[in-house]
């Protein structure tokens, strides 16, 4: 039982490149979330999903896309990377009595 697994852990992108951050969970949770954490700031919600096939925008969705074709996977896609997307990204599952975060992806856009 691995919980929430994020890949990659680190990535450097050039401006304008694209990439997908992977998030997989083996806890059969319906609710999955993507957050970003900027230095000195709290966690901000990018997108969330309440189940396979259902996604919705959070507080800071611009520049990102998500999909949820299965309960297990919730990838986050960055199109046309910009320096403002330099951040640490966390995938999480949250339920009424438990919550788990992935290890985080440190992304730098240069």
Partner 1 sequence: ILNVEQSPQSLHVQEGDSTNFTCSFPSSNFYALHWYRWETAKSPEALFVMTLNGDEKKKGRISATLNTKEGYSYLYIKGSQPEDSATYLCAPAEGYQKVTFGTGTKLQVIP
- By CB under 8 A, name the binding residues for partner 1: 31, 33, 35, 41-45, 48, 50, 56, 59, 90, 92, 94-104
CB of residue 40 to partner 1, shortest distance in Å: 8
In contact, 66 and 77? CB cutoff 8 Å: yes
CB of residue 80 to partner 1, shortest distance in Å: 25
- Dist. CA 26–CA 37, nearest whole Å: 24
Considering the complex, state which of residue 16 and residue 53 has its C-beta at the smaller distance from partner 1: 53
Considering the complex, state which of residue 14 and residue 42 has its C-beta at the smaller distance from partner 1: 42
- Dist. CA 101–CA 103, nearest whole Å: 7
Considering the complex, state which of residue 31 and residue 63 has its C-beta at the smaller distance from partner 1: 31
CB of residue 16 to partner 1, shortest distance in Å: 29
- Dist. CA 34–CA 90, nearest whole Å: 6
Q: How many CB atoms lie within 10 A of CB 34?
A: 27
């Amino acid at each position: 039982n691995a919980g929430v697994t994020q890949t990659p852990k680190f990535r450097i992108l050039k401006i304008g490149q694209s990439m997908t951050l992977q998030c997989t969970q083996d806890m059969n949770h319906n609710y999955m979330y993507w957050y970003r954490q900027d230095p000195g700031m709290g966690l901000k919600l990018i997108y969330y999903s309440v189940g396979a096939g259902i996604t919705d925008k959070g507080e800071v969705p611009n520049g990102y896309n998500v999909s949820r074709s299965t309960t297990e996977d919730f990838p986050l896609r960055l199109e046309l990377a910009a320096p403002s997307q330099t951040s640490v990204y966390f995938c999480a599952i949250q339920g009424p009595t438990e919550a788990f975060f992935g290890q985080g992806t440190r992304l730098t856009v240069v």
